[in-house]
Structure 1
Amino acid sequence: MPVKRSQLWAGILSPLIALSGIGVAILINHAWWRLTENAISDLGRVGLPYNWVMNVPLFLSAILAIYYSFGLLNYLDASISKSGIVLFILGLIFLGGIAVFPEGTEPHYYVSWGFFICGSLGFLVTGLGISMKKNKRFGVFTVVLFTTEVLLVKWAFSRFNGVAVAEFIGIFSILSWYYAIMWILFHKPQDVTA
């Protein structure tokens, strides 16, 4: 079944909403927030004035991305690819959890890690599933992206006091894959039916 037009639009808009919320939160909190000293979650922590500026867009973004990802789930044929998308959707549920359980609540640590781990492993498994059936180049892209992400995140953890750099590496890796598969859906849909 093809991905619905509304799901594609939700997929396109979702990251833009989340990144806009993070960007505005950084501007509001620029007096104290530092990329190399803080976590992105510091911008939405409990008790911080205007924490909703980041948390509400994250939650909306998660809902839109889940809606889009269910379109991918219905579109893909192979069980490996579908398993990857289910894992990716779980990561998006954790993304919504970051907004619902902001820093300062007990579940925050777990939902934050859940987003990055499930999101990244989800795109890896989906990409490998697609490469086994249809598109070897997309599989290579996925593996190279995942490997680069892991190496850069490891470097960022060892280099900076805060985790925001590592988080942004994870986010932009996930988004690179997310928009790459969307690009293929628009231009070569037969290459992702796997």
Structure 2
Amino acid sequence: MNRTRTIPELSGLAAPLVTFGAILLATLISPRFSWTLDALSDLGAAGESTAWLFNGGLIVGAILALPFVWGLWMRRENRFDAVGTVVLLVSFVGMGFVGVFPEGTNLHFPMAITFYAGLTYALFFLGSGRIVADERTLGLGSVWLAVSHITSWILWAVGIRLGSGLAIPETVGALILIVWMVATVRRF
């Protein structure tokens, strides 16, 4: 069957493509970025040649994600879905504001925590919503992605890591979001 994608579906594919594409491109063109020593946000710090690309990618990606979140809201079936969708919205707002408040500004760290913690909680709630709605594969997959996200940060915190930088666990979180969004778009 050949069908046209909806705006929320296109949004769910475009947002991670634009965001992760901008991040990856910024890592490739940065003259000093190190995966093991830096945080991804170093690419957006004032004075960095990649600041416009990194910060712009986060802002545009967050805006592009809004129709996807609306699509989730319109498809909610239970309270877990509703709470998870609101938390996901807050997470995307945090992501966008990481670009608005780049590294070195007072609000950068709180916005980054809002994004990453929000992502984890959103996956737990949305996964629970899918389990309650009898979509166990997507539900359990979402919950296990949340567990994987937490685990990557725990491993980093206890010193099981490839360096002192945050870029690797941050990238794990970004990849988890991409996998989840693509799987969710397929469900739409």
Q: TM-score, normalised by structure 2?
A: 0.91
Q: Which residue of 1 aligns with 2:173?
A: 170
Cα drift, residue 138 of structure 1: 2.1
Summarize deviations over 1:154-185 as a string: whole Å, max 9, x none: 21342220011110111111222121111122
Q: Does the 8 Å CA contact 2:12/2:65 hold for their aligned counterparts?
A: yes
Unpaired stretches in structure 1, ≥5 consecutive residues: 186-194
Mapped to 2, the partners of 1:94 and 1:42 lie a distance apart of 17
Cα drift, residue 49 of structure 1: 2.7
Structure 1 segments (4+ residues) deviating >4 Å: none
Q: TM-score, normalised by structure 1?
A: 0.88
Q: Which residue of 2 aligns with 1:25?
A: 26
Q: Name which of structure 1's ranges 152-161 and 38-47 shifts more when overlaid on structure 2.
A: 152-161
Unpaired stretches in structure 2, ≥5 consecutive residues: none
Mapped to 2, the partners of 1:68 and 1:138 lie a distance apart of 17
> For residue 119 of structure 1, what is the amino acid of its counterpart?
L
Q: Which residue of 1 aligns with 2:35?
A: 35
Q: Residues 140-159 of structure 1: matches in 2 within 5 Å? A: 140-157=140-157, 158=159, 159=161
Cα drift, residue 129 of structure 1: 1.2
Q: Residues 73-84 of structure 1: matches in 2 within 5 Å? A: 73-84=73-84
Summarize deviations over 1:45-86 as a string: whole Å, max 9, x none: 122234101111211110011221111111112121111011
Mapped to 1, the partners of 2:179 and 2:63 lie a distance apart of 19
Q: Does the 8 Å CA contact 2:13/2:181 hold for their aligned counterparts?
A: no
Summarize deviations over 1:96-143 as a string: whole Å, max 9, x none: 001100001100000011100001211210110111122122222222
Mapped to 2, the partners of 1:85 and 1:77 lie a distance apart of 11
Taking every aligned residue pair, what percent have the same amino acid on both sides? 25
- The root-mean-square deviation of aligned C-alpha atoms, in Å, is 1.4
> Does the residue aligned with 1:36 lie in a helix, a strand or coil?
coil
Q: Does the 8 Å CA contact 1:21/1:54 hold for their aligned counterparts?
A: yes
Mapped to 2, the partners of 1:131 and 1:77 lie a distance apart of 11
Cα drift, residue 7 of structure 1: 2.0
